[in-house]
Amino acid sequence: MRQDQTLKRLKTIEGHLRGVIRMVEEDAYCIDVIRQIQAVQAALNKVSAGILEEHLNSCVITAIRGDDLGERERVMNEITDVFETATKV
């Protein structure tokens, strides 16, 4: 995902989140608030997946094709850490 696409999506999510905040301030129906929060989370997950895909297709491939074993291990550990963190949430 290109940087301009990422920023556009994040700004859209920011606006959506402001809407959720407004809903809470206005004491909106709880289930409606939860559904909107889930929509924000899904949108953030999509952005995160796009950034990860870009990282895998650039930085990780470069490291794997390179001669620096330490760099390969570092990049693979980063990816593992990202997935471990994601499963904790």
Domain containing 33 — which CATH number?
Answer: 1.20.58.1000
Q: pLDDT (tens digit, 9 = 90+) per residue, 20-78?
A: 999 999 999 999 999 999 999 999 999 999 999 999 999 999 998 999 999 999 999 99
> Residue 7: is its pLDDT beyond 70?
yes
Percent of the chain at pLDDT above 90? 88
Long-range pairs for 39-46 at CB < 8 Å and ≥24 separation? 40/13, 40/16, 43/9, 43/12, 43/13, 43/16, 44/13, 46/9
The pTM assigned to this predicted structure is 0.84
Which domain does 23 fall in, by range? 3-88
- Map residue 89 onto helix, strand or coil: coil
pLDDT at 89 over 70: no
* Total structural domains within the chain: 1
